[in-house]
Structure 1
Amino acid sequence: MAKYNDKELAETSKFLSFVLRHKPEAIGIVLDREGWADIDKLILCAQKAGKRLTRALLDIVVATSDKKRFSYSSDGTCIRAVQGHLTSQVAIGFIEKTPPQFLYHGTASRFLDEIKNKG
């Protein structure tokens, strides 16, 4: 298995966020309405754009993303950003759920007064 340094992983994550959330057309890919991109096409287009992208590198970035930014389709042929899409190509149809009676939110105490006042 190839070794990748932290800088390479971070740069790849930023690149994926850019093309899967904001500008897929920058490398010539098209996302479906749920935000999925074909992995083989993504790798090919990224390489044509001068980016060093392989399936092995994708696997590591997806598995080690601290915020779980990306996910693979159940058949492993597609990838998408989990949230934060700014492109009009994507309209993920999340299922609406009723929240529980109590929800918890972690925040720094210095922001507490503002949250209480403004929500």
Structure 2
Amino acid sequence: MYHGIATCFLDSIFQQGLVAGLRHYVPLSADEATAIKVGQRHGKPGILKINAQLMHEQGFKFHQADNGVWLTKSVSVKYISFN
């Protein structure tokens, strides 16, 4: 899965992972194109690749919203990569 971000947030993300903050969940996209659109909202876009399969295997829960977005409570740094 993917998470679109503004690249100015990379340092913070790689220190604390993805956290819901004021939201109840961290939104994840099934495709890169959607993630890019999300990342463009707040500056220069970047795409984080999330190892959701490993997260699921290790007991993390995911829910799919009516709009197709996948939701989870948080994503630890160890499941995140950025190219």
TM-score by length of 2: 0.33
Per residue, is there more helix in 1 or in 2? Answer: 1
Larger relative contact order, structure 1 or 2 (CA cutoff 8 Å, min sep 6): 2
Say which one has the larger Rg: 1
Per residue, is there more strand in 1 or in 2? Answer: 2
TM-score by length of 1: 0.27
